[in-house]
């Protein structure tokens, strides 16, 4: 038993160290950019150059503000109270799809919802509809951002016994095997993800939401073949 406890404690400590290293990296980049911009601002008298530098500083401040806000939301999701009401999953997925389709990045993708209308009605889920909607939308947004124009993103759901299974599948570049165990961690961004705007909080937030509802998350991906992200939620008794 002591050995198991020591192993768990060591793993948790290493996860915290990785998180702090990522946080240091995420904070250091915009702070360095702001410092450089302020130095340049002090050395120029050209009005147009000053406006451009000020716009850059404001963009970095928004980036920092967004990161802090995302971390606060993640902390709130892990500990804050949840609503507990019956949720119609088909209706929730339809709304998430409509919201995602309205985003500019969806214009050159094939995004669709696949619900088998011939199958029995999906079990309801008891929980907080707003944050479950946020989880599904985050998955769709993530799939759209990390795929290329012309790729397909499919949202689907089905019942597995008393469990509701929600899947988001894309035909994008896939995730390298070495990165897959870490994609649910706060602030984790693989080498291939650095060119895509984001904080690395999205999937960690999805995981926190699903686990607060008594569910679990999963991922299957193959480089060059795409990715399937799975949410499993207990159906209402």
174-188 CB burial, b ≥16 within 10 A, e <16 = bbeeebeeebbbbbb
pTM above 0.75, yes or no: no
Write down the domain spans for the chain. Answer: 2-79, 85-234
**3-state DSSP: the chain helix, strand, coil percent, rounded to 5?**
55, 20, 25
Written as tens digits, the pLDDT of the chain (237 aa) is 455 766 666 665 666 666 666 666 667 777 888 888 888 888 888 888 888 888 888 888 877 776 776 667 666 666 777 888 999 999 999 999 999 998 888 989 999 998 866 556 788 999 989 889 989 998 999 899 888 999 999 999 999 989 999 999 999 999 899 888 888 887 666 655 545 554 456 788 889 889 989 999 999 999 989 999 999 999 986
Tokens representing 126 are: 């008891």
Assess if CATH 3.10.350.10 describes domain 2-79: no
* Cα dihedral sign, 220-237-137-184: negative
What is the topology classification, in CATH, of domain 85-234? Heat Shock Protein 90 (3.30.565)
**CA of residue 190 relative to chain centroid, distance:** 13
- At residue 49, the pLDDT reads 87
Residues in the chain, total: 237
Residue 197's nearest CA partner among 99, 104, 129 is 104
Stated as kind and residue range, the H or E segment containing 165 is strand 163-170
In degrees rounded to 5, what are phi and psi of residue 169?
-115, 140
Tell me if 179 sits within 8 A of 193, measured CB to CB. Answer: no
């Amino acid at each position: 038993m002591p050995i198991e406890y020591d192993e768990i404690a060591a793993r948790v400590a290493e996860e915290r160290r990785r998180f702090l290293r990522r946080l240091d990296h995420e904070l250091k980049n915009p702070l360095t950019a702001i410092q450089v911009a302020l130095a340049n601002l002090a050395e120029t008298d050209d009005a147009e150059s000053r406006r451009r530098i000020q716009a850059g500083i404001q963009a970095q401040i928004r980036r920092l503000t967004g990161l802090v806000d995302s971390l606060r939301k993640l902390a709130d999701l892990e500990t804050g109270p949840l609503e507990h009401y019956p949720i119609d999953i088909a209706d929730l997925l339809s709304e998430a799809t409509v919201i995602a389709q309205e985003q500019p990045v969806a214009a050159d993708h094939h995004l669709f919802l696949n619900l088998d209308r011939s199958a029995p009605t999906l079990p309801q889920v008891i929980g907080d509809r707003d944050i479950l909607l946020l989880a599904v939308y985050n998955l769709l947004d993530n799939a759209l951002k990390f795929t290329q124009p012309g790729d397909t993103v499919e949202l689907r759901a089905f019942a597995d016994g008393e469990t509701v299974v929600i899947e988001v599948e894309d035909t994008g570049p896939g995730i390298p095997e070495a990165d897959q165990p870490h994609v649910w961690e706060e602030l984790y961004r693989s080498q291939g993800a650095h060119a895509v705007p984001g904080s690395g909080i999205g999937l960690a937030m999805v995981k926190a939401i699903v686990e607060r509802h008594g569910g679990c998350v999963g991922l299957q991906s193959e480089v060059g073949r795409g990715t399937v992200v799975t949410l499993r939620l207990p159906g209402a008794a």
